[in-house]
Amino acid sequence: MTRAPAVSAHPDTVIQSGPLRTRTRTVAVLGTIAIVLIGLNLRAGISGASALFHDLQQVLGYGAFVAAIVPSIPTLCFAVAGAATSWLTRLLGVEKAILLSLVMLAGGLLLRGVPSTGMLVAGTVVGMSGLAVCNVAMPSFIREYFADRTSLMTGLYTMTMTSGATIISVLIVPLAQQLGSPSAGLGSIGILALTACLGFLPIALHAHRHAPARKATHVSPWPLLRTRTGIMITAGFTLQALLAYSVLSWFPYMLATEGVSASQSGLMFGLMQLVSVPAGMMLIAIGARPRMLRPAFYLASTATLLGVGGMLLLPAGMAPLTAVLLGVGLGIFPLIMVMISRAGRNTAETTALSTLAQSVGYLLATIGPFGMGLLHGATGSWTLPLVLLLAVAVGQVVVGHLLTVRIAKPPGAGGRLVGPSLGGVQR
């Protein structure tokens, strides 16, 4: 049966009529390749920098304040640039917006190869701004091109994302040593981003040639903050982002300050992200079953809680155990992304919820890596930052429970996250 066109009661919404553009097999294959190439880049620039922060500070000579600022730039850019994604996709279309974001990502990462603190900061801002747009737009891209396989393609997307981060984490320190400079090693990640640009170019060209001659749909994300569903999804995204980027930013540095070598720290960092690949797939498989979404969230949140506790209480020699626990905890990200990809009845509605959750979530999540860096610089210890991070991990367990109580419904029982349209979001 053909679903009738959605009509939204919200004044900012113009729902397009008719089905999505027909996808040929070739476009589906190209789209899958693009998802893999993009996924490989979405954490590589962050994890590569994290593994080199200790060496970068020693070589470039910047102080504690800059050391706290640099790991905070990604989440801040995700918030600010991510908030503009809804407008950008309406102006250019999802495909062109993603291509532009990939060009910015590659340019920013290459700029970080210049051995200068200013270039490190500027390149991170440009690259992470591009990454922010791509982060927000990808659930909409998956929804539009793979509407009947959102879980599968989101799983592929997140699996390649963590795989790329793992590979870079393990290889970046030896590569930087071979190149003779941590800056050169960091800049080399931009070459990987260039492959994503080239891989996505056919999709953008196809979209340009077959652009529909109708007004693009627009749904304003900000009214969703007045709804319980919007608030809870944003809260869940915020807490997992704060925990994830605090750990991704400082885990190798913490090990280095405890006497672990840079290469060994990189290996532990890589182990953590390697574990997150099967963990994310496992959590998606569990959460896809009726009434099993809540246990999946409990499993991921409890692993994060134990991992942060291990960072606080266990000696550096137990880093492999801590890395495994944190890797399982990082697997919560695909669950959040599946929720966003399934939300709404069209691409614009999905973009609206993705924009809200990621822009607000990442803005608040900036407190994590920035606060940890400042507190460590002020106290000379990781104890207070980790105690506060432990409290956030407890909060994630609570929010995860409340969120899954509301949305964990069997298929056909009204389990859609946002109701018939975002103009009539369930309150």
Cα separation of 53 and 343, whole Å?
37
- Which tens digits make up the pLDDT trace of 134-157? 888 887 788 778 877 777 787 788
What is the model's pLDDT at position 406? Answer: 58
Residues 153-184 as b or e (16 or more Cβ within 10 Å = b):
bbbbbbbbbbbbbbbbbbbbbebbeeeebbbb
Confidence tier at 73 by pLDDT (50, 70, 90): confident
Please report whether residue 235 resides in a domain: yes
With respect to residue 5, please indicate whether it lies within any of the assigned structural domains.
no
Cβ atoms of 351 and 68 closer than 8 Å: no
Is residue 14 pLDDT above 80, yes or no? no
Residue 212 confidence (pLDDT): 58
C-alpha distances out from residue 100 to 36, 213, 275, 307, 354, Å: 18, 22, 31, 37, 18
Whether 176 has a pLDDT exceeding 70, the answer reads yes
Whether 165 is covered by a domain: the verdict is yes
Whether residue 218 is predicted with pLDDT greater than 70 in this model: the reply is no
Place of tokens 């399934």: 342
**CATH number for 116:** 1.20.1250.20
- The DSSP code sequence of 40-74 is HHTTHHHHHHHHHHHHHHHHH---HHHHHHGGGHH
Q: How many residues can be counted in the chain?
A: 427
235: pLDDT strictly greater than 50:
yes
Residue 126 tokens read as 């440009």
**1: in domain:** no
Query: What would the pLDDT profile of 194-217 be if each residue is shown by its tens digit?
Result: 999 998 999 888 887 766 544 455
At residue 326 the predicted structure's pLDDT band, cuts being 50, 70 and 90, is very high
Task: Name the DSSP letter for residue 220.
Answer: -
Enter the pTM of the model.
0.69
If one counts every other C-beta atom within 10 angstroms of the C-beta of residue 9, the result is 10
Low-confidence winner among 3-7, 14-18, 87-91, 353-357 (lowest mean pLDDT): 14-18
**Using 50, 70 and 90 to split pLDDT, how confident is the model at 106?**
very high
**Token pair listed for 1:** 């049966």
pLDDT band of 219, cuts 50, 70, 90: low
Q: Is the dihedral of CA 383, 386, 387, 388 positive or negative?
A: positive
Q: Is residue 12 part of a domain?
A: no
pLDDT given at position 306: 95
Q: Is residue 33 part of a domain?
A: yes
In a domain, 20, yes or no: no
Given pLDDT bands bounded at 50, 70 and 90, which one contains residue 341?
low
In a domain, 7, yes or no: no
Average pLDDT (323-339) is 86
Note down the domain range covering 367: 25-424
CA distance 234 to 232: 5
Report which of residues 347 and 296 the model is more confident about: 296
**pLDDT > 80? residue 324:** yes
Count of domains for the chain: 1
Q: Is the pLDDT of residue 416 over 50?
A: no
